[in-house]
């Protein structure tokens, strides 16, 4: 039997993603502290921050010469809500990331589905590895919206029908599409986040261009905003050195 009140079972459609920084211990001083143990041993926070120009120079040098480990002594935990197809791509990032995602076995999945908004370019032109996305026509936009919504509703009704007949959640969920929203905690450090951003965002300063799917890029852009605020010197050095993770 379904364990969710009927009013919550009405499908809703979203074109955005949510990224919330729920916990962090991350500052430029963490990079300095880790790097300076090489040359001067332990230092107080005051000593570390005494000479801002020197700090900036050191972080830039570490980034440029790809001395990566000082960028690992920090932590950021994000709560992310996004379609399942985004999480499939996200969880390919294995190193320096920890994940916990909501369970389709232990809880009933809610009917929240992804439908791209009018800004999302719909048509791919070119061949794999060398292509661009361009606007769709109004007809294509209407088609995407209509067919997605119809098939989402149908899939969710099938899910509900099976639950109502006593079928286990882990079996009934097979009919749900990858456009269903899921949620997870993802914890990383600045080094693993930089690697992610290098691959999953497009940026004019990137030395090595990447061609991510727009929806994972939307998640990446929101994480980037939070990180930039926490570690401004590291963020500036990342950009200045072509957005290649050290």
Active site members: 200
Closest approach of ligand FAD to the CB of residue 192, in Å: 6
Q: Considering only residues 77 through 136, tell me which ones interact with ligand FAD, judged by CB under 6 A.
A: 92-95
Could you give the residue ranges of the DSSP H alpha helices within the chain?
Answer: 28-36, 45-48, 52-64, 84-90, 138-164, 169-172, 190-200, 214-230, 232-240
Contact between 6 and 211 (Cβ < 8 Å):
no
CA 111 – CA 176 distance, rounded (Å):
9
Contact between 197 and 224 (Cβ < 8 Å):
yes
Nearer to ligand FAD, 10 or 94 (CB): 94
Closest approach of ligand FAD to the CB of residue 200, in Å: 6
Question: Closest Cα partner for 235 from 184, 201, 211?
Answer: 201
User: What track of x and - describes contact with ligand FAD for positions 187 through 226 (by CB under 6 A)?
Assistant: --------x---xx---------xxx--------------
Contact between 104 and 203 (Cβ < 8 Å):
no
Residue 243, phi-psi category: left (phi > 0), alpha (psi -120 to 50), beta (remainder): left
Size of the site for ligand FAD (CB under 6 A): 10
105 is in an annotated binding site: yes
90 is in an annotated binding site: yes
Nearer to ligand FAD, 6 or 95 (CB): 95
- Per the annotation, where are the binding residues for FAD? 69, 92-94, 101, 189-191, 195
**Positions in the binding site for ligand FAD (CB under 6 A):** 92-95, 195, 199-200, 210-212
Binding residues: 69, 89-94, 101-105, 173, 189-191, 195, 200
């Amino acid at each position: 039997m379904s364990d969710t009140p009927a009013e919550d079972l009405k499908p809703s459609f979203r074109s955005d993603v949510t990224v919330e920084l729920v916990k962090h211990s991350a500052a430029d001083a963490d990079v300095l502290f880790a790097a300076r143990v090489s040359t001067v041993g332990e230092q107080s926070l005051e000593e570390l921050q005494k000479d801002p120009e020197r700090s900036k120079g050191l972080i830039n040098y570490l980034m440029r010469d790809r001395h990566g480990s000082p960028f690992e002594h920090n932590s950021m935990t994000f709560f992310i809500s996004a379609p399942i197809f985004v999480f499939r791509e996200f969880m390919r990032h294995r190193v320096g990331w920890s994940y916990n995602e909501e369970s389709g076995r232990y809880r009933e999945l809610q009917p929240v589905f992804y439908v791209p908004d009018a800004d999302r370019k719909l048509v791919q032109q070119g061949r794999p590895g060398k292509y661009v996305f361009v606007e769709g026509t109004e007809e294509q936009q209407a088609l995407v919206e209509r067919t997605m919504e119809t098939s989402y509703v149908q899939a969710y009704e099938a899910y509900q029908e099976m639950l109502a007949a006593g079928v286990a959640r882990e079996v009934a969920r097979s009919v749900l599409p990858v456009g269903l929203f899921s949620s997870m905690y993802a914890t990383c450090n600045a080094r693993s986040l930089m690697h992610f951003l290098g691959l999953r965002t497009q940026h004019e300063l990137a030395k090595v261009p990447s061609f991510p799917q727009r929806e994972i890029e939307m998640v990446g852009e929101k994480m980037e905003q939070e990180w930039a605020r926490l570690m401004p010197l590291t963020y500036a050095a990342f950009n200045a050195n072509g957005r290649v993770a050290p």
